[in-house]
Amino acid sequence: MPDAEAPDAGCQDAPSIGGAAPASAAGELASTAGPSFAGDAPPSPGGRAGAATVSAAPTSTGVVAAEPQAKSAPAAGRAGGPQILQGPGGSRILQGPGGPIEAVLFDLDGTLLELDMDRFLPVYLQRLAAWVADLFDPEDFLRQLIRATTAVMQNRDRSRTNHELLYEVLWAGLDPARHPGARREQRQAALARFDRFYREQFPQLQFMARRRPEAAAVVDAARARGWKVVLATNPIFPWLAIAERLRWAGLEPDRFDLVTVLENMHSCKPQPDYYLEIAGRIGVEPGRCLMVGNDLRDDIAPARVAGMAVYVVEGMVLHEGEPGAAGAPRGTLGHLLQQFGKSGGTGNIFANQATLHGNNAALQ
């Protein structure tokens, strides 16, 4: 069982590990918004007391059970930024399209954590393929991973978790004659190898990320307001990979009422259903949720369609010109922290944004 070569912590370019994974295949997969691999179902992160956690009890299939989700999108309403109203004693009340804000959803990469996925994914994929090169042909392995990840991102069958669907497609597309790890009797060993990768090798990729100093403060400010707080990162990565990236951001899973991961979700960005599933899981109407993200296509536009208020974090904005995100309020995490009342800011960065409709003309 070969070990992956340890990365150089000072390296700034995407290295190839052992030449096992072709850069062309890694680049192709990166364009699909990233792969996902996990072994066993994740342990409970022990979220906030009385709060929803990242996973339910494992089922007989080894993946987490489905949980309730919102059934349909609300009627088109005001879904720009929330309005700020004055409450008793001069307190601030953030008003969403459906009433006072009760939950805040935070994207991770590019929002709470500075991480350029266009650079990160090829490095990650090459190291993953090298780590399992004795079990899978690297070229074919990555190409089938493209198909499996695409199937997960396009999935609308809510009877299966993303984890279940990914492995169903992956195993079906790998010829056991070429891929020893795809043989039925070897699959559990392959899953264990993936888990070892995320525990032993994935943490070494931290050199590609940079912590945002306001991230922990803005999450804690939302919690201090009594709101439910969700890490709404695209659930195409397993629990181990997302928990590790949270660590890079200086955050712990128990700061969140829900962390969306491969094993516990049934939908992905940029589907509005992903946001509706979150709302159903935490028991908050979409119109009382605020989605905070940097990707206009994956975070802002679909959250609006789902009926949520939105806020664009500047610095690493993706997909400029997305029509469904036109006019969305923007600012830094520091600006958002002020609006949450943590720093006593007075300006209203959400002014005049609550008249924007979730189902605007560009999306009808």
pLDDT at 12 exceeding the cut of 70: no
| Residue limits of CATH 3.40.50.1000 in the chain | 83-112+212-234+269-363
pLDDT in tens, 89-100: 445 568 889 999
Peptide bond into 235 cis (omega under 30): no
Per-residue pLDDT at 62 exceeds 90? no
Is the distance from CB of 67 to CB of 56 less than 8 angstroms? yes
Mean pLDDT score, 8-19:
32
Residue recorded with tokens 């659930």: 235
Q: Give the pLDDT of residue 224.
A: 95
pLDDT tens digit string along 303-323?
Answer: 999 999 999 999 999 999 999
Q: What sections of the chain are H helices per DSSP?
A: 23-30, 117-131, 138-154, 162-173, 187-196, 215-224, 239-248, 272-282, 301-305, 333-339
Check pLDDT > 80 for residue 42: no
Is the Cβ–Cβ distance between 331 and 353 less than 8 Å?
no
pTM: 0.77
Residue-averaged pLDDT of the chain: 78
pLDDT mean over 157-186: 93
Residue 33 has pLDDT above 80, yes or no: no
Token pair belonging to 310: 């939105």
| CATH number listed for the domain at residues 83-112+212-234+269-363 | 3.40.50.1000
pLDDT above 50: residue 258:
yes
Instruction: Assess whether pLDDT exceeds 80 at residue 31.
Output: no
